[in-house]
Chains A and B, each alone.
Chain A
């Protein structure tokens, strides 16, 4: 481990570019670099670049590199862009199998898209690794820079070497040093709210140092944000479930650890009325038809006071509350959102037993589809036995009625009809618009008498305990941005030379115009010309005009 001893005698750690004491450039490399680049981190050694021994150091140095960080961001952005070419798996119909869907629709490109995991980008392992690498890069690169920077600014000396002064962008050498001028400059800068340090007739005036921490505050906010996003995976922090509930039903609410139940008192859809809301909606209703006004589920929340799953004897009513779009029902960190509905699901059907020949009708009887009964007694002589119920009738297979789902989309029934003429019963199969008499012609038939329907509410159950962390991260992020963007770190050095002259130089991380204005104010009473901006002079030489006044390209935030 070698150290660098400066001409002034100060011992600097390896990798240092500008002597920590006097500010001399320590290497020819540093001497040739642009001043703004050297000054970005005050010429401090970035620790990453100085130790490269073990594998740990190599990993550390990899992530410490800003170049690597930028590439990681570029790659992540490109991947995100590619992920928008075909729809994400979330948005394709749940009935489609993704492994087939992409290939069938988009050919080879779709297949590659699927295999590489672009179809579910945010859950792809490699995308998550990229995000993790960016997070790591932010943490390590920041640590590697903010610590030396903090130390350098904290320990900076008032008296700098002439070569340090000379290479600053604002620099002028005055032939004569007088304590009068010196104190005028000092007072002028103090009036501009610079913090003044003085040593043997030398001066360091500084303001807005805290703006240098902006990027690191910003990064802290980002990291907090990432932590918040990560916490979603911790059980109990985040719930996102879907539940369907029919009018009148009481169901367990998923994701609540079997604690809460919901009863639906009813679902309503309202539309704007062409007469009532004529002023606002009249024209639009004429043009496009009905406009939805409200989707609402009237719900009652129940809580299981005690007991295990399946035991609903101890449900206590907690609260009655409507659930409307964008107006969720909130309770105990949970929120129920109205997101979907299905109207007109069959709830019950009723029939009459009719003798075909005479037209005599018996009944009606009603079948509640949620709890059909074995037998319906119509009068002393006539009864109907229910032999089979197929809620989602799709056809026959080996003579047997099929129902591929438990949802009553297309209810069908197998009946046995008992009458005085047929004490052993006649078999009838009834579905919507379908009447079969599988065992031969019957004397009796069932005639459809009516149907009752009900609506089904689709609700999202959401719990997110990470929101405040995300908000906090976002707020800190913005504070960092503001801190770094609206303030600048300005410094002015005044040095008395051994020959009795005076050197004045200035540096700022951005907004050189502001620094020049400060200097102008500080120098008005001195009778001296204000220190010159060498960069601007060069520009003037080149373009021979003042058009580049605002050229402040080399910012060093």
Chain B
């Protein structure tokens, strides 16, 4: 009799745990649906190759060993515009310490991007993602979104808002090799 009772308990615990696991998984997936597909901290950053305004190609994996400040932006986006000069300043400070900026413009014409770069005197490489290919591969939502990638090619943090200069500096410090 005791044996049967024990068996019953085990069966019940098993069934209930399977059910709880299923429920927890479903709840977790639903509540984080928006976040789930996006590349997250801890993920390996998906590789990509894009061409900058000078016609040079940049491949993310070529920057292994350096920290990469990967910024998705558009000329029409106000917070993007605001943080660009901060990025430029910090780029000057950090580029010799092994931190690279790659600014990915999403879907705009070369003319607009060039004009924008000229206006703010941007010296870091700006690449254009005209087919939204790279944007989809990172599942980028609203702009600006910045990914901090460490020298091992792993995403350390995803920043989904504009930044002030101090924040930019502290993030760059974070991914310094």
Contacts and interface: CB of A to CB of B under 8 A. Distances in A.
Interface of A: 1, 47, 51, 54, 56-57, 59-60, 123, 125, 128-129, 132, 135-136, 139-140, 143, 230, 233, 235, 250-252, 254-255, 257-258, 261, 307-312, 369-374, 386-389, 391-392, 403-406
B8 A258 contact: no
A51 B111 CA distance: 76
B145 interface: no
B12 A309 contact: no
A139 B19 contact: yes
Nearest to A249: B131
Given A254-B136, A406-B108, 6 more contacts: A51-B5, A60-B12, A233-B26, A252-B136, A258-B136, A311-B48
Nearest to B10: A56
A308 B47 contact: yes
B76 A371 contact: no
A310 B48 contact: yes
B53 interface: no
22 contacts: A47-B8, A56-B12, A56-B13, A60-B12, A125-B31, A128-B30, A136-B23, A139-B19, A233-B25, A250-B131, A252-B132, A255-B136, A309-B46, A309-B49, A309-B134, A309-B137, A311-B48, A370-B109, A371-B110, A371-B111, A387-B115, A406-B76
A386 B111 contact: yes
B96 interface: no
Contacts of B46: 308-309
Interface string B38-57: 00000000111110000000
B48 A373 contact: no
B109 A129 contact: no
For the residues of B in contact with A, the DSSP-based class is helix
Contacts of B25: 230, 233
Contact of A261 (B16, B47, B112, B131): B131
Nearest to A140: B15
Given A1-B5, A56-B12, A371-B111, A312 B131 contact: yes
Contact of A309 (B31, B33, B48, B75): B48
A372 B110 CA distance: 8
B35 interface: no
Contacts of A135: 19
Contacts of A230: 22, 25-26
A258 B136 CA distance: 7
Interface string B99-141: 0000000011111101100000000000101011110110000
B167 interface: no
A56 B61 CA distance: 52
Contact of A310 (B30, B36, B49): B49
Contacts of A233: 25-26, 29-30, 33
Contacts of A403: 75-76
Interface string B1-15: 100010011001101
B76 A258 contact: no
Interface in B61-84: 61, 74-76
Interface residues of B, number: 46
B160 interface: no
Q: Which of B9, B30, B127, B132 has the most CB of A within 10 A?
A: B30
Nearest to A3: B1
B123 to A, nearest CB: 20
A139 B110 contact: no
Contact of B133 (A1, A310, A370, A373): A310
B99 to A, nearest CB: 21
Given A258-B133, A309-B48, A311-B49, A406 B12 contact: no
A308 B48 contact: yes
Given A406-B75, A406-B76, A128 B26 contact: yes
Contacts of A374: 111, 114
A392 B108 CA distance: 13
A448 B111 CA distance: 21
A235 B38 CA distance: 12
Given A251-B131, A310-B50, A406 B74 contact: yes
B8 A392 contact: no
Nearest to B129: A310
B159 interface: no
Contact of A128 (B13, B27, B134): B27
B9 A252 contact: no
Contacts of B112: 372, 389
Nearest to B112: A389
A452 to B, nearest CB: 16
Nearest to B23: A132
Nearest to A367: B111
Nearest to B33: A123
Contacts of A56: 9, 12-13, 16
Contacts of A386: 111
Contacts of B110: 371
A258 B23 CA distance: 31
A128 B30 CA distance: 9
A265 to B, nearest CB: 16
Contacts of A311: 48-49
A252 B131 contact: yes
Which of B16, B36, B61 is packed against the most chain A CB atoms within 10 Å?
Answer: B16
B125 to A, nearest CB: 13
A57 B12 contact: yes
A80 to B, nearest CB: 16
A254 B141 CA distance: 12
Nearest to B106: A406
A258 B59 CA distance: 16
A355 to B, nearest CB: 27
Contacts of B9: 54, 56-57
Contacts of B129: 310
Nearest to A387: B115
Contacts of B1: 1
A308 B8 contact: no
Contacts of B37: 235
Q: Interface centre among A51, A309, A373, A388, by most B CB within 10 Å?
A: A309
